[in-house]
Amino acid sequence: MPLLEIRNLVKTYQAPEGTPHTVLDLPQFHLDAQAEVALSGESGSGKTTLLHCIAGILAPESGAISLAGHSLTSATEADRDRLRARHVGYIFQTFNLLQGYTCLENVLLAMAFGRGTDAPFAQTLLGRVGLGDKLHHLPRQLSVGQQQRVAVARALANRPQLVLADEPTGNLDAANAGSALALIREMCVENHAALLLVSHDAAVLGAFSDRRDLGTINRAVARPEGGPL
């Protein structure tokens, strides 16, 4: 049984003029436990929307998402929050660290909403990403690359089965992007987490053997707007 299974997922937004706009129409998608998949697609192809649906942040109009044996689409919002906290780690392009919190507190806070705080493990994670000496630094006291590493440690705080990474190297220079990508992949392997990474960077995508193009599998992108489903 795959870790993540998606069937006939449709997500529609209301356009400013009031007309519905389908951004995702995904007949089928799956991801095995501890797998490593890179998802490509042009800007606006629904990559972030898909990750948000998988994380339970967005509720699709129709279709089914099953994560670690739990149906996200039939779960209440509170249940989706709980599932996200316990099973999903999310790495954002803009890191989304809480600026008033230290590195350690950012990781501990994520734990608080998931499996409970575990300060030694939080310190281990931060040590593993090379920030053992910056536990009490605020994000603004860190370089962009270091902030990304805090985000990686935070994503793994609850020992998730799935890590979602949305353009994780988008804000980094080439040198930092390479090392950040390597770190994310290593950390997922070490923590037995599957990785679903979204990028439009060919260098990043080239590092993955399992690559899927959302432009092809998302029927909302593949067909002209308003065409037959």
Partner 1 sequence: MITHVVAKSLRQHALSTWVTAVSIAMATGLLLAVWAVKDQSLRAFSNVTGGFDAVFGPRGSELNLVLFGVFHMDKAPGTLPWADYEALQRDRRNIKAAVPIVVGDNFKNFRIVGTSADYFSVEYQRGRSLTLAQGRHFAAGAQEAVLGSFVASRLGLRVGDVFAPYHGLEYDPSQKHEAEYLVVGILRPSNTPADHVLWIPLLGAQNMPGHRAEAATDISAVLLQFNSAVQGPVFADQVNKGTRDKTVAMIAPTVTRFFQRFEWLRVVLGAMAALVALVGAGGILASLYNTMNERRRELAILRALGARRSTVFGAMVMEAAAISALGALGGFGVYALCASAAAHYLRQHTGVVIDPWETSAVFVVAPAAVVVAGAAAGLLPAFKAYQTDVAENLAPHS
Decide whether 32 or 115 has the Cβ nearer to partner 1: 115
Single residue of 21, 30, 35, 57 touching partner 1 by CB under 8 A: 57
Decide whether 32 or 113 has the Cβ nearer to partner 1: 113
**Secondary structure string (H, E, C) spanning the chain:** CCCEEEEEEEEEEECCCCCEEEEEEEEEEEECCCCEEEEECCCCCCHHHHHHHHHCCCCCCEEEEEECCEECCCCCHHHHHHHHHHHEEEECCCCCCCCCCCHHHHHHHHHHHCCCCCHHHHHHHHHHCCCCCCCCCCHHHCCHHHHHHHHHHHHCCCCCCEEEEECCCCCCCHHHHHHHHHHHHHHHHHCCCEEEEECCCHHHHHCCCCEEEHHHHCHHHHCCCCCCC
Decide whether 34 or 101 has the Cβ nearer to partner 1: 101
Single residue of 1, 78, 175, 202 touching partner 1 by CB under 8 A: 78
Single residue of 62, 71, 100, 127 touching partner 1 by CB under 8 A: 100
Per-residue string for binding with partner 1, 6-35, x by CB under 8 A?
------------------------------
Decide whether 52 or 149 has the Cβ nearer to partner 1: 52
User: Which positions lie near partner 1, rule CB under 8 A?
Assistant: 41, 43-44, 47-49, 52, 55, 57-58, 77-78, 81-82, 84-86, 90, 92-94, 96-101, 105, 109-110, 112-114, 117, 154, 158, 166-167, 170, 198, 200
